[in-house]
Amino acid sequence: MKLKKGQQLKEHADAVIAKLRKIYPDAHCELDFTNPLELLVATILSAQCTDKRVNIVTRDLFKKLRTAADYAAIPQEGLEVAIKSTGFFRSKSKSLRSMAQDLVNKFGGKVPASMEELTSLAGVGRKTANVVLGNAFNINAGIVVDTHVRRLAQRLGLTRQQDPDKIEFELMKLVPQSEWTIFSHWLIWHGRRCCYSQKPDCVHCGLATICPSFEEFVTPSDAAKSKKGSDVKKRAVSAQGRQPKKAA
């Protein structure tokens, strides 16, 4: 994932941000919620589950359980049944009930608005806290690093780190703090709509001309099908020309 010779990482990050801003002007959190508690619950449920499925489950869950005390009081078995389709329902039920009990005991049932306080809750780490702070309180305390953000940050050459916390802190140096929350949404939306894990749609990607991983996935024949213009095609042809020839 090498950048162009002489290109500075900050300059590259700025170019990525500018393109993502144009491609996804309406990017936002795709979990449905109306208050901080609902977002906190939905984020915990979203682990190893799609936002679409979580939204289906919470549609009924949020009608039945409205306060932290409700989650703390509901029997384990009852909560398991309610969230079963999100997967890992036993561990998620335990996390939700423990988190809710902490909210009741430590914060009077209200979701706190600081990283330190949120991460003091049972089962709440930096990623979950960042989701809640950024989207429920409009506080840019950090950058959410989920599987999409991790994959794209690496493919785009913004980090070589593997650990989510280290990736987050490197990204925080490259992205203006005012855009920490929306930046994660841009990457998540791009990961869900174009830069897939297995077969990224590079020939139709708006970042193709500046992505250092483009040559790993695209051949000239693929680029010939692209509607993005000659720059993408020329880059694919150039990359093919640099491939080592097979022995006769």
At 148-199, the pLDDT tens digits run: 999 999 999 999 999 999 999 999 999 999 999 999 999 999 999 999 999 9
Catalytic-role residue among 19, 92, 102, 127: 127
Identify the band that residue 219 occupies on the pLDDT scale cut at 50, 70 and 90.
confident
4 is catalytic: no
For position 156, what pLDDT does the model report? 97
Catalytic residue among 14, 32, 146, 222: 146
For 50-97, write each residue's pLDDT tens digit: 999 999 999 999 999 999 999 999 999 999 999 999 999 999 999 999
Q: Is 127 designated active site? A: yes
Helix 180-193, helix 126-136: angle, nearest 10: 110
CA distance 20 to 158: 14
- Measured CA distances, 21 to 16, 26, 34, 67, 189 (Å): 9, 9, 25, 36, 11
Helix residue spans in the chain (DSSP H)? 9-23, 36-45, 51-64, 68-73, 76-83, 89-107, 115-118, 126-136, 147-155, 164-174, 180-193, 214-217, 220-223, 230-241
